[in-house]
């Protein structure tokens, strides 16, 4: 069930800092997403390409769909016509694939670079030290249809608020450095996508520009 009172609180908390709210609708029914739409929301995030495509079919056309989960390269072609922002780009090979198909349909694609900001071992996300190596390459500079709008990160699962705050602060600082060093010609490199149900307040305090909140909006 969509919890409209919680929605209004989180929406207003985001708006008070100028951040945007992506409602994470993975695992939620079309009926519940429609309830959020009827409450006025238009920005939704999904973790799986197939689920995003199926839900988009059944919901109003003015919804802006964000991809927040790992994207397999063989799904890129199907995804691109339907997506507004991909939060979870974590390799050059994926960037290249996006660039190729974006060119094919002549649609520049906005992306965020997902960073690995915790000690947790995970396959996903660029390492802080590795990303600059890619940004320096001619291969990266040759991408034509990818618009890098900023970075995304996920706080450690079950970490203390202090630890999560440090992770978010670190990502914000890193984003500021990237902007100065590599994206000074790209005025649109502005987004820091951090903050979920358990830590969006901390994220907003630490400079999040997009929070991604799911479960807390849909529980009873
Ligand atoms: C599921 C998910 C969210 C939302 O998490 P909640 O705890 O349900 O708010 C945000 N970002 C990503 C990448 C997710 O996979």
Work out which ligand 1 atom sits closest to the CA atom of 198.
7
- The pLDDT assigned to 7 comes to 98
Distance 106 CA to ligand 1 centre (A): 30
Q: Which atom of ligand 1 lies at the shortest distance from residue 197's CA?
A: 9
Ligand 1 pocket, 69 CB below 6 A? yes
Q: Which atom of ligand 1 is nearest to the CA of 68?
A: 13
* Residue 123 scores a pLDDT above 80: no
The residue ranking higher by pLDDT, 129 or 187, is 129
With a 6 A CB cut-off, is 213 part of the ligand 1 pocket? yes
Q: What pTM, to 2 d.p., does this model score?
A: 0.97
Cα–Cα distance between 79 and 84 in angstroms, integer? 10
Ligand 1 atom at shortest distance from the alpha carbon of 200 = 9
26 pocket-lining for ligand 1 (C-beta < 6 Å): yes
Cβ–ligand 1 contact at 212 (below 6 Å): yes
Which residues have C-beta within 8 Å of that of residue 163, sequence separation ≥ 6? 155, 156
- Provide the 8-state DSSP code for 17: T
Whether 117 is in the pocket of ligand 1, judged by its Cβ within 6 Å, is no
Ligand 1 center to 157 CA (angstroms)? 11
Q: Which atom of ligand 1 lies nearest, measured to the CA of 217?
A: 9
Q: Compute CA 9 distance to the chain's CA centroid, rounded to the nearest angstrom.
A: 21
CB 122 near ligand 1, within 6 Å: no
Q: Is residue 54's pLDDT more than 90?
A: yes
Helices (H), 26-182: 30-38, 49-58, 76-79, 92-105, 131-135, 138-141, 161-181
- Per residue in 77-119, pLDDT (tens digit) is 999 999 999 999 999 999 999 999 999 999 999 999 999 999 8
User: Exposed, middle or buried: residue 113 (CB in 10 Å: 0-12, 13-18, 19+)?
Assistant: buried
How many Å lie between the centroid of ligand 1 and the Cα of residue 51? 15
pLDDT computed for residue 220 by the predictor:
60
Burial of 96: CB neighbours in 10 Å, binned 0-12, 13-18, 19+: middle
Share of the chain above pLDDT 70, in %: 100
68 lines ligand 1 (CB under 6 A): yes
As a whole number of angstroms, the distance between CA 165 and CA 218 comes to 25
């Amino acid at each position: 069930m969509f919890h409209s009172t919680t929605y209004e609180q989180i929406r207003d908390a985001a708006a008070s800092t100028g951040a945007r709210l992506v409602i994470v609708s993975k695992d939620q029914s079309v009926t519940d997403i429609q309830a959020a739409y009827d409450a006025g929301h238009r920005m939704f995030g999904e973790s799986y390409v197939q689920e995003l495509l199926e839900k988009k079919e059944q919901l109003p056309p003015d919804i802006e769909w964000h991809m927040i989960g790992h994207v397999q390269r063989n799904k890129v072609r199907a995804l691109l016509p339907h997506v507004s922002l991909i939060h979870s780009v974590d390799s050059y090979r994926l960037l290249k694939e996006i660039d190729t198909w974006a060119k094919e349909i002549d649609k520049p694609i906005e992306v965020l670079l997902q960073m690995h900001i915790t000690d947790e071992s995970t396959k996903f996300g660029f390492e802080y030290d590795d990303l600059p190596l890619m940004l320096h390459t001619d291969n990266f500079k040759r991408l034509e249809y990818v618009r890098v709008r900023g970075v995304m990160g996920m706080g450690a699962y079950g970490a203390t608020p202090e630890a999560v705050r440090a992770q978010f602060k670190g990502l914000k600082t890193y984003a500021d450095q990237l902007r100065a060093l590599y994206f000074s010609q790209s005025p649109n490199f502005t987004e820091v996508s951090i903050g979920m149900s358990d830590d969006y307040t901390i994220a907003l305090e630490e400079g999040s520009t997009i929070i991604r909140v799911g479960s807390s909006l849909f529980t009873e």
